[in-house]
Structure 1
Amino acid sequence: MATSEENLSGETGGRLLLLDPHESELDDVVAPPPPPPPSHVDMDTAIVLLGAGVTAITHPLLYVKLLIQVGHEPLPPTVGATMFGRRVLYLPGFFSYAQHIVRVDGKRGLFRGLSPRILSSAISTIVRSRVKKTSYEMVIQCLSRIATHPCHVISVRCMAQFIGSEAKYGGLFSCISKIFEEEGVAGFFVGVVPHVLGEVIFLWGCNLLAHFINSYAVDDNFSQAPAVRSYTRFVMGIGVSVLTYPFMLVADLMAVNNCGLAAGLPPNSPIFKSWLHCWNHLSQKGQLFRGSSFFFRRVPMTAVEVAEN
């Protein structure tokens, strides 16, 4: 008995081992494998759905912006004052304009032309998610802009119908049929040149400015240098988008120019021979940035002078 105790103490270091009867069963249980990472297709689908949601949420903003761009001002201006006390005339802002649309068309009226914009957004989102290099980015973005421009034309015309209370353009396929019958293939690409030019200037402007600032203005010894560099292109994009806004404005006006809608015909709008003609017309009137702001929109000085006379 003593020998048995010594052997036990020698083998276990003076401790008795208690064996769990279920231990062998637990050893046989294999842990479930970790879930597989989301596939590239799943990621693309999620990105497209997110883009479609953002497009739908922001569509009323772009709808009001387009109506302002084509010069439709259904509400009278109000008298206000600047911070220096000077009296000025202010045009209605986004909320007043949106309420007017709801009164005329109902809440669903705020979403005119949404379906072609969602289609265009889906195509652009997929393309942008696959392009990384700047040189290829410019080429692919231009091709993407050209490919989605017909959707842009359809969306703009659907929204511009509000001005004349027209119903010429309905669903997506009926719009395609209508434009093809009246204008041919060229009708889907009116205004594409300023649209693509604006895209090219925007891309190169953002990348060149971001490269210059990251290379020469941000010190590598600065502890937050990586964080600053990550936001440089985004900040530069805001500034460059202001400079390229006239290209977008001209593209939108050319999309409705002389298409049979009241928004693109006199007296609401002159008939432009080309996008350069449209640019010069807006430049002479000082309206190259018309519709760039939703709030605190002042009546153009020429209109104020005519009213005073």
Structure 2
Amino acid sequence: MSKPREANKNSYWSNYASRIILNTASHPIEYAKVLIQLGYEPIPPRPCTTFFGKPALKLPNIFDYVKHIKTVDGFAGMYRGLVPKLCGSLVCAVTTEKVLQRYAGEVSRDDDEEHQQNVEDPRGKFVKDLKRDIVSRTSAIIISHPFHVITIRMMAQFVGNETRYMGLFSSIGEVYKENGILGFFSGLVPRVLGDIIFILLASSLTFAVNSYVFEEPDLQMYTNATMSFLASAITYPFQVVSNCMAVSNSGLAAGMPPLMPMYSNWSDCWFDLSNRQQLKRGSSLLIRYYTGPQVIISGRPVPLPKNDNMNLSY
């Protein structure tokens, strides 16, 4: 094995190890965020005032939510769903790497004239890179999505204190028993659409700003992060809908009435959440306000009981 190839291989494994460490460390926060996205709020809101002094009801922040999970399930309970999540992350990384390698091989077979043209044409290079990113990301999501479904369903069991989805292999059988083969791809369409739109927005905005606004390299280095943040905020509702669809009709309490309506497809879920202004729930992790039915009594907001038991929040 040549030294460059060996160095690349070591780099890949180093990236995989870093990904595993990062996913493990952030899992409790991601776990709590998923439960919020599903609309589950076990801790009642408390009265507070907004930055402008307006009375409001405040929900626990993400760290309070993680603490609640630990109180109920213990320290190990905060890592429910970690194994399939790591498997999915690894599959996603390997798939992305293989697609990029194949794409690089195809590009290297182009003739010198076309290659020279792409070098001289920034727009041509941008379009090629955009296609490469979309193909690699979409392929990785499709192949790794079954692990994502199992992860979300394992987490969603917290809502009903269930134990249907436990080990990885037993969960595979449970998904198949409940929904068949298609169950492994529940919520795939909104997830893929969200990522494609994210790549299109982030890449296009970065290219436009760096080409026509910021010509200084020192300023261009911050453009990608800024545009990615903006694109992430715009496409966030697709993540909420995808996770809801991964649980819908799963046999879990979190995916059935009264906690969640029975959705026929992802667009049905989208319009329902949109009508209830819930497409952005979970987007704010530190300052979260209750937006469900409430009344003001003696200058203090009081939540009204709801028939569907679903707390509405951001």
In the alignment, the residues of structure 2 paired with residue 157 and residue 308 of structure 1 have an alpha-carbon distance, to the nearest angstrom, of 30
Which digits, 9 at most, give the CA deviation of each residue in 1:179-203, with x for residues without a partner?
1233221010011000000010000
In the alignment, the residues of structure 2 paired with residue 127 and residue 182 of structure 1 have an alpha-carbon distance, to the nearest angstrom, of 28
**Count of residue correspondences:** 268
Q: 2:234 matched to 1:243?
A: yes
Tell me which of 50, 53, 57 is aligned to 2:18: 50
Tell me which of 169, 184, 187 is aligned to 2:183: 187
In the alignment, the residues of structure 2 paired with residue 291 and residue 253 of structure 1 have an alpha-carbon distance, to the nearest angstrom, of 12
In the alignment, the residues of structure 1 paired with residue 58 and residue 165 of structure 2 have an alpha-carbon distance, to the nearest angstrom, of 33
The answer for the alignment partner of 1:100 in structure 2 is 68
In the alignment, the residues of structure 2 paired with residue 253 and residue 197 of structure 1 have an alpha-carbon distance, to the nearest angstrom, of 15
The answer for the alignment partner of 2:293 in structure 1 is 303
In the alignment, the residues of structure 2 paired with residue 89 and residue 176 of structure 1 have an alpha-carbon distance, to the nearest angstrom, of 40
User: What residue identity is the alignment partner of 1:159?
Assistant: M
Tell me which of 145, 148, 173 is aligned to 1:149: 145
TM-score, normalised relative to structure 1: 0.83
Tell me which of 201, 219, 224 is aligned to 1:233: 224
Q: How does 1:30-49 map to 2 (within 5 A)?
A: 39-49=7-17
In the alignment, the residues of structure 1 paired with residue 303 and residue 191 of structure 2 have an alpha-carbon distance, to the nearest angstrom, of 35
User: What residue identity is the alignment partner of 2:167?
Assistant: G
Tell me which of 278, 282, 289 is aligned to 1:291: 282
Q: How does 1:212-223 map to 2 (within 5 A)?
A: 212-219=208-215
Describe the shift of the 1:308–1:97 C-alpha distance in structure 2 as closer, same or farther (beyond 3 A).
closer
The answer for the alignment partner of 2:273 in structure 1 is 282
Q: Is the 8 A contact 2:45 2:290 kept in 1?
A: yes
Q: Is the 8 A contact 2:96 2:139 kept in 1?
A: no
Tell me which of 247, 262, 265 is aligned to 2:256: 265
Q: Which segments of 5 or more consecutive residues in structure 1 lack a partner in the other structure?
A: 1-35, 220-224
Q: How does 1:4-23 map to 2 (within 5 A)?
A: none
The answer for the alignment partner of 2:118 in structure 1 is none
Describe the shift of the 1:42–1:68 C-alpha distance in structure 2 as closer, same or farther (beyond 3 A).
same
In the alignment, the residues of structure 2 paired with residue 206 and residue 128 of structure 1 have an alpha-carbon distance, to the nearest angstrom, of 18
Tell me which of 167, 170, 175 is aligned to 2:166: 170
User: What residue identity is the alignment partner of 1:239?
Assistant: L
In the alignment, the residues of structure 1 paired with residue 212 and residue 145 of structure 2 have an alpha-carbon distance, to the nearest angstrom, of 38
In the alignment, the residues of structure 1 paired with residue 158 and residue 218 of structure 2 have an alpha-carbon distance, to the nearest angstrom, of 45
Shift of 1:308: 6.3
User: What residue identity is the alignment partner of 2:262?
Assistant: I
User: Secondary structure of 2:228's partner?
Assistant: helix
In the alignment, the residues of structure 2 paired with residue 285 and residue 78 of structure 1 have an alpha-carbon distance, to the nearest angstrom, of 21
In the alignment, the residues of structure 2 paired with residue 100 and residue 248 of structure 1 have an alpha-carbon distance, to the nearest angstrom, of 24
Which digits, 9 at most, give the CA deviation of each residue in 1:33-61, with x for residues without a partner?
xxx66522111111001001100111111
Q: How does 1:66-145 map to 2 (within 5 A)?
A: 66-129=34-97, 131=100, 133-145=129-141
Which digits, 9 at most, give the CA deviation of each residue in 1:46-89, with x for residues without a partner?
10010011001111111000111111111111111122221110
Give me the CA root mean square deviation. 1.7
Shift of 1:284: 0.5
Whose RCO is larger (CA < 8 A, sep 6+)? 2
User: Secondary structure of 1:89's partner?
Assistant: strand
Bigger CA drift: 225-234 or 171-180? 225-234
Greater than 6 Å deviation, 4+ residue runs: none
User: Secondary structure of 1:291's partner?
Assistant: coil
User: Secondary structure of 1:205's partner?
Assistant: helix
Tell me which of 183, 199, 202 is aligned to 1:203: 199
User: Secondary structure of 1:106's partner?
Assistant: helix
